[in-house]
């Protein structure tokens, strides 16, 4: 699929001078906005940006401050406490 946007030459030159590849810049911003708004899945972000793996997509989102894993801090604390309680005492001593 292809998408075309008409941009005056002077505007394109300014933006390319600042952002480089406009096509890539626009796709990255579509991916970020789409994922933040819940419109795109991680798999769709990966395909839109032509990443080989979901790890690349997760890393991209993370670099831009977008949480890939949405955990409540209290939930993480509870999980950590459960795991700590389940560890045998000899493992807990090792730290």
Structure tokens at 20: 């480089």
pLDDT in tens, 28-64: 999 999 999 999 999 999 999 999 999 999 999 999 9
Structure tokens at 47: 């395909």
- Give the Å distances, CA to CA, from 55 to 10, 28, 66: 37, 16, 14
Helices (H), the chain: 9-19, 22-36, 42-48, 54-63, 73-86, 89-94
pLDDT in tens, 64-78: 999 887 666 677 677
Task: Output the pLDDT for position 83.
Answer: 76
Q: What is the pTM of this model?
A: 0.69
Task: Output the pLDDT for position 89.
Answer: 66
Task: Output the pLDDT for position 79.
Answer: 75
């Amino acid at each position: 699929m292809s998408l075309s946007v008409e941009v005056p030459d002077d505007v394109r030159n300014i933006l390319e001078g600042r952002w480089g590849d406009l096509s890539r810049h626009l796709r990255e911003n579509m991916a970020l906005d789409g994922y933040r708004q819940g419109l795109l899945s991680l798999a769709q972000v990966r395909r839109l940006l032509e990443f080989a793996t979901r790890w690349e997509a997760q890393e991209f989102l993370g670099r831009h401050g977008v949480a890939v894993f949405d955990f409540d801090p209290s939930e993480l604390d509870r999980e950590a406490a459960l795991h700590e309680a389940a560890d045998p005492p000899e493992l807990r001593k090792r730290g």
